C-alpha cells in the first residue's frame, strides 16, 4: 500500500487543524468545575489516552470498530450538518438525527470507498474481514437513521444534503476518502466545535489562552512519538497514518467524556435533549 500526496496533505490537515479542537478541554473543565485541579485533570486525560493507546495496539480490530462507533456519536452530537437534533420531538428521533449525521463519516464514507479504505484499515493492523462483516448492518442502521431524520420534518437543508450525498456517491471513484474525512473533520466538526467552545468560555477565537497552544503542541508531539513507535514495526506501511488514528482515538476518549458527558450535565447548550 502506498500513501499519495493527497493522503499526506489530508493527514497533515487533520494533525494541524483537526486535533487542536480539543485543546480547550482544560478551560472547559475549569469553567464547569467549581474546584478544578490541574493534576487531577492531567491524570484523567493522560490516563484515558494511555488506555486508548494500549487498546489500539493490543486489540486493533475491536478498537477500530469501537472508534467508528464513538465517532458516529461524537460527530453526530456536534450537529455538523446543522439539522438540530435538539428540535426533534422524541429521544428516538434525536438519536436517529445524531447517528445519521455522525454515521455519514463513520459508516457511509468507509462503505462508499471500501476498496480504497480496506488497505488503509489493513495498514492499521485491523482484520478487514471482521470490519466488513459489520458493514452491512451498520449501513442499514445508518439508512434507517437517515429515513427517520428526513421523514420527521422535511426541509430544504435535508433535501440538499440528500442530493449532496447522492452526488458524492456518483462521483466517489474520483474522490479521495482521506481527503473527504479531513474536510469533514476539520471544517464541519473541529472548527464549529472550537468556535462554540470559545464562545462558551467568552474568549476570542483568534486569541486563545496559552493553555490552548500548550495542549496543541503536546498533542502534536504525541503524534510524532506515536509515528516513531509504529515506524519500528516492519509491517507498518504507513506509520504516520497509524500514529494519527491511534492518537485520535486516544484523545477522543477523554474529550468525549468532557464534551458529551460532563458539559451537558452543567450547561443546556451542550445537550441534545431538553
- Count of domains for the chain: 1
Quote the DSSP letter at residue 23: T
pLDDT classification of 273: cutoffs 50, 70, 90: low
Residue 111 has pLDDT above 70, yes or no: yes
Q: What pLDDT, on a 0 to 100 scale, did the predictor assign at position 197?
A: 92
Average pLDDT over residues 181-207: 92
**How does pLDDT run across 27-80, given as a tens digit for each residue?**
999 888 777 888 999 999 999 999 999 999 999 999 999 999 999 999 999 999
Percentage, residues of the chain above pLDDT 90: 68
Distances (CA, A) of 270 to 52, 54, 257, 258: 24, 30, 12, 11
**How does pLDDT run across 252-262, given as a tens digit for each residue?**
999 999 999 99
Residue 237 has pLDDT above 60, yes or no: no
Average pLDDT over residues 235-249: 79
DSSP element (H, E) containing 35: none
Residue 234 has pLDDT above 60, yes or no: no
For residue 35, give the C-alpha cell.
474546584
Return the SS3 of 39: helix
CA dihedral sign of residues 261, 262, 265, 270: negative
Average pLDDT over residues 167-195: 94
pLDDT classification of 1: cutoffs 50, 70, 90: low
Which residues are documented as binding site for Fe cation? 21, 74, 189, 193
Range of the domain at 241: 5-270
d(CA 106, CA 185): 11
d(CA 230, CA 238): 8
d(CA 131, CA 179): 21
Which residues are documented as binding site? 21, 74, 189, 193
Neighbour count for residue 253 (Cβ, 10 Å): 20
Which position has the grid cell 488506555? 51
pLDDT classification of 3: cutoffs 50, 70, 90: confident
Q: What pLDDT, on a 0 to 100 scale, did the predictor assign at position 268?
A: 83
Residue 274 has pLDDT above 60, yes or no: no
Amino acid at each position: 500500500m502506498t500513501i499519495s500526496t493527497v493522503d499526506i496533505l489530508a493527514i497533515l490537515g487533520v494533525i494541524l487543524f483537526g486535533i487542536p479542537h480539543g485543546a480547550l478541554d482544560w478551560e472547559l473543565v475549569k469553567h464547569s468545575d467549581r474546584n478544578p485541579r490541574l493534576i487531577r485533570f492531567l491524570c484523567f486525560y493522560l490516563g484515558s489516552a494511555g488506555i486508548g493507546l494500549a487498546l489500539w495496539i493490543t486489540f486493533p480490530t475491536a478498537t477500530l470498530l469501537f472508534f467508528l462507533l464513538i465517532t458516529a456519536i461524537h460527530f453526530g452530537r456536534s450537529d455538523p450538518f446543522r439539522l438540530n437534533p435538539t428540535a426533534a420531538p422524541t429521544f428516538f428521533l434525536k438519536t436517529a438525527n445524531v447517528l445519521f449525521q455522525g454515521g455519514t463519516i463513520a459508516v457511509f464514507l468507509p462503505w462508499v470507498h471500501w476498496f480504497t479504505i480496506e488497505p488503509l484499515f489493513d495498514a492499521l493492523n485491523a482484520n478487514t474481514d471482521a470490519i466488513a462483516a459489520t458493514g452491512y448492518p451498520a449501513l442499514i442502521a445508518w439508512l434507517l437513521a437517515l429515513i427517520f431524520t428526513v421523514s420527521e420534518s422535511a426541509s430544504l437543508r435535508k433535501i440538499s444534503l440528500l442530493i449532496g450525498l447522492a452526488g458524492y456517491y456518483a462521483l466517489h471513484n474520483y474522490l479521495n476518502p482521506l481527503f473527504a474525512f479531513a474536510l469533514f473533520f476539520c471544517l464541519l466538526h473541529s472548527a464549529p466545535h472550537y468556535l462554540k467552545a470559545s464562545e462558551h468560555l467568552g474568549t476570542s477565537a483568534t486569541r486563545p489562552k496559552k493553555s490552548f497552544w500548550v495542549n496543541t503542541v503536546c498533542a502534536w508531539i504525541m503524534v510524532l512519538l506515536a509515528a516513531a513507535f509504529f515506524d519500528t514495526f516492519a509491517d507498518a506501511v504507513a506509520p504516520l497514518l497509524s500514529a494519527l488514528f491511534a492518537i485520535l482515538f486516544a484523545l477522543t476518549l477523554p474529550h468525549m467524556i468532557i464534551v458529551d458527558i460532563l458539559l451537558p450535565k452543567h450547561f443546556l447548550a451542550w445537550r441534545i435533549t431538553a
